[in-house]
Amino acid sequence: MTGIKQQSLPPALLRRRWASEFCNPKDSACDTLYVAPISCNWRATLIVAIHGVAGKEGKPLSIRADVNWTLGTQAADFFSDYRSYLGGKTPGFEIPIGAGFSVSSYQFDNVCIGIAVGYRKAAVRETFMYNPEELATPIGPAQSNTQTITVTSIPLMLTADYWPGHRQFTGYIGGGLGVSPVAVYWDEVLSETSLPGGRTGGVRYNSWVAAPTVMIRSGVFLGFDTPRESTVRPGVFFEVGYQWLPVTDRFFAWTARTITQPPEGLFRPYTIDSGGIVLKLGITVIVNE
């Protein structure tokens, strides 16, 4: 067999020739290229270039969407007076179903920082017969009463989460703080009466209030079967957290004005905590840049 004839090129020329095949020598990310002659069985010389390019790993993005349930939305003083003076039956708000969306980035190896927005509406809707004989402090004659009270919250937060590891199944803890626009709406529909002290229906409160919000949480993430180096890695997560979102105002003031002799206490500020224990179930997509 005829051997391959060895080329005789100056070392400097070999260096420039092979370097141009892999990277721009002016690029700071391009490591030094080393050229080595290796002898074959056929007495030929092969030129092998060993090179390295400094990796510039991007910071992965985490995009999340969830459905959530908020347990324990509280307004203890408000509903205490609501039952005592108006004859309402409900102990508090129904459990609202909400939605959330967030985008965050792994700014540090195990810490993910981002922004989150949510939406939920807690409500009370009930119809009852107001009976002054059942109350310790009657405010008027018997009337049919339909109540609609809603608290719409849109929490906006900066978030930070700690991930102890980057595995297919892993847990995390975190928190957030921010501000939330909260809309409180209250409407009463009352039957007509000609008896003394009868009240008229109408909108009692309809306003937006800005409130601070703080959140802590813990959850687990289960990634789908995709390679970690894939550009897109989807998964699901389950999370339990607590959110504090208090709203304070004189919510009873307009209702008190419909009472012939209103109790003074109804004009005081009341606090509605539209947060509570938050359960989330959602989808996470991790995008490697």
pLDDT at 19: 37
pLDDT at 166: 66
Nearest 5°: phi and psi at 33? -95, 135
Q: Which residue spans within the chain are E strands per DSSP?
A: 34-39, 45-50, 61-71, 97-105, 111-130, 143-153, 156-162, 169-190, 202-223, 232-244, 246-249, 270-273, 276-287
CA–CA distance, 232 with 236 (Å, rounded to integer): 14
What would the pLDDT profile of 76-92 be if each residue is shown by its tens digit? 999 999 999 999 999 99
Does residue 87 come out as left (phi exceeding 0), alpha (psi in the -120 to 50 range) or beta? Answer: left
CA–CA distance, 186 with 255 (Å, rounded to integer): 10
CA dihedral 35, 36, 39, 40 (to 10 degrees): -50
Element (H, E) at 22: helix 11-22
Distances (CA, A) of 216 to 74, 94, 132: 18, 22, 44
CA dihedral 88, 92, 94, 96 (to 10 degrees): 140
CATH 2.40.160.20 domain span(s) along the chain: 61-287
CA–CA distance, 283 with 238 (Å, rounded to integer): 9
In CATH, what number does 61-287 get?
A: 2.40.160.20
Pairing of strands 169-190, 97-105: unpaired
pLDDT at 57: 57
pLDDT at 60: 84
Tokens of 227: 């390679």
pLDDT at 28: 41
- Mean pLDDT per 10-residue section of the chain, whose length is 289 residues: 48 42 40 39 34 49 96 95 95 96 90 96 96 92 96 97 82 96 97 92 95 97 80 93 97 95 94 96 89
- Helix, strand or coil, per DSSP, at residue 9: coil
- pTM as predicted: 0.75
Tokens of 136: 């310790």
Q: Give the number of C-alpha atoms closer than 13 A to the C-alpha of residue 56, restricted to the C-beta side.
A: 5
pLDDT at 58: 66
What would the pLDDT profile of 125-135 be if each residue is shown by its tens digit? 999 999 999 99
What would the pLDDT profile of 185-210 be if each residue is shown by its tens digit? 999 999 999 999 999 999 999 999 99
CA proximity to 287, closest of 237, 226, 240: 226
Beta bridge partner(s), residue 239: 219, 280
